[in-house]
Amino acid sequence: MAAGEVDISFGGDQGGSIRIPAAFCGIIGLKPTFGLVSHFGIGFGSDQSIDYTGPMARTVEDAAAALQATAGYDPYDPRQTRDVPVRVDVMSRLADGITGLRVGVVQEGFDDAEDDVRDRVLAAVDVLAKTGADVSKVSVPAHHAIRTAQAALNAEGALAVFKTGFFGAFTRTYYPAAIIAAINKLWASQADVLAPRTKLSLIAAEFSRRDHHGRVYAKAQNVRPAYIKAYDAALADVDVLVMPTCIMTAPRNHRPGSYLEAVEDNLTSLSRGGSRNTQPFNFTGHPALAVPVGKSSAGLPVSMQLIGRFFDDPLLMRVAYAYQHATDWKKIIGIHA
């Protein structure tokens, strides 16, 4: 599961879960620079090149402390390179402020956003400006196109994981033999217990593999540098990018007659923009931090997403800290029945 996402469970005979962005829950969630936080010991829920783990917390201080405690190089993580530092200092400069920091508001990130979401995020940007940041508008035309490329990885990558026992293969690391064997036996004999959404993804991946023989997957991996360059170009002129984490508020809460209805309802809502602004950074690997900024008129959480250069995760935390301490944070994250 990617950092910044939460599993929501449904009960009953056809129980299961669906993954939604943490922004829908009103908490801090960091998707770290790819590889910065070790993935060792965690089963891969999707393609290894787009899967993440990272801290989620109610306050920036807690998220920053968790990041400092967990970030750093781990030789057992096959996804890390030696660019990953041995450790990361997040806390020492957390309260240094953001005077003179250049913040770029990504225009494409606001396309089709609900009015409440747009207004709350822009109000949060105003807070950053009043706190000392220099705010400007930026454009990243590739922002929407990137989802097409990542879609090719989602299905075929998940199928590959399915066939290798949920912990990947081909790297020199530790493999939990008992867990891998249990998962393989379960999926070989009881695949019917998989959630409908998972089954659909695996079936689509199988057809893609048969029809295109891996060409679609390979092309999706090979275009990644072009999209990384698109965001790097924007980050050459500013220090941090900002946009809504989600362009919509959370899907409605209901008690469907079946799990299939729950999946359909949530997928319809999420397809309207639940992950439009978050998926790109699974693909590129830039650090992305979801920060609550208030409630919609219906009382649902709204969040802004801060994106930085590779390994600038501590800077994102510093921006979020400045925002948190310039606002009524308890009101922003408060839950009222």
Up-side HSE of residue 279: CA atoms within 13 Å toward CB?
A: 24
**What is the helix (H) or strand (E) element at residue 19, kind and residue range?**
strand 16-21
DSSP structure class, residue 308: E
What are the residues whose beta carbons fall under 8 Å from the beta carbon of 22, sequence distance 6 or more? Answer: 4, 5, 6, 28, 29, 56, 245, 290, 303
19-61 pLDDT, tens digit each: 445 544 578 999 999 999 998 877 666 788 888 889 999 999 9
Global confidence as pTM: 0.84
Return the pLDDT at 15.
37
311: DSSP letter:
T
pLDDT at residue number 1: 44
Please report, rounded to a whole number, the percentage of residues in the chain having pLDDT higher than 70: 84
Query: Chain-centre distance of CA 3, in angstroms?
Result: 5
Phi, psi dihedral angles at 137 (to 5 degrees): -90, 140
- Is the predicted pLDDT of residue 11 greater than 50, yes or no? no
Q: What mean pLDDT is predicted for residues 256-261?
A: 57
176's CB contacts (< 8 A; 6+ apart) are 41, 167
pLDDT at 255 over 80: no
Q: Kindly report, residue by residue over 272-320, the tens digit of the pLDDT.
A: 566 889 989 999 999 999 999 999 988 889 999 999 999 999 999 999 9
pLDDT level of residue 171 (50, 70, 90 thresholds): confident
Mean pLDDT of 248-259: 65
Give the model's pLDDT for residue 18: 40
List the single range of 3-12, 163-172, 223-232, 289-298 with lowest mean pLDDT.
3-12
- In the DSSP assignment, the letter for residue 127 is H
Q: CA distances (Å), 269 to each of 23, 165, 182, 252, 297, in order?
A: 14, 31, 34, 9, 18
Of 128, 145, 151, 109, the residue nearest 23 (C-alpha): 109
Which residues have CB under 8 Å from 314's CB, separation 6+?
64, 67, 88, 89, 90, 93, 94
Residue ranges of domains in the chain: 5-146+226-333
The rounded radius of gyration (Å) of the Cα atoms in the chain is 20
Looking only at the bridges linking them, the beta strands covering 102-106 and 134-138 are parallel
CATH 3.20.20.70, domain 5-146+226-333, yes or no: no
Q: Dump pLDDT digits (tens) for 124-140.
A: 999 999 999 999 999 99
Higher-confidence residue of 291 and 77: namely 291
Residue 48 to residues 45, 164, 219: CA-CA distances in angstroms?
8, 12, 16
Whole-number pLDDT of residue 214: 85
Are 2 and 282 a contacting pair, CB within 8 Å?
A: yes
Q: CA 38, CA 183: separation in Å to the nearest integer?
A: 22
Greatest CA span in the chain, whole angstroms? 59
Tell whether the model's pLDDT for residue 108 goes beyond 70: yes
Q: For residue 270, is pLDDT > 60?
A: no
Mean per-residue pLDDT, 137-149: 91
- Tell me the CA distances in angstroms from 224 to 37, 144, 149, 286, one per residue in order: 21, 14, 8, 12
The pLDDT tens digits of the residues spanning 184-235 come to: 888 788 877 777 777 888 888 889 889 988 898 999 999 999 999 999 999 9
- The Cα 48–Cα 46 span in angstroms is 6
Distance between CA atoms of residues 19 and 235, nearest Å: 29
User: CB-side exposure of 306: number of CA atoms within 13 Å?
Assistant: 32
User: In the prediction, which pLDDT does 14 show?
Assistant: 35
Secondary structure class of 191 (helix, strand, coil): helix
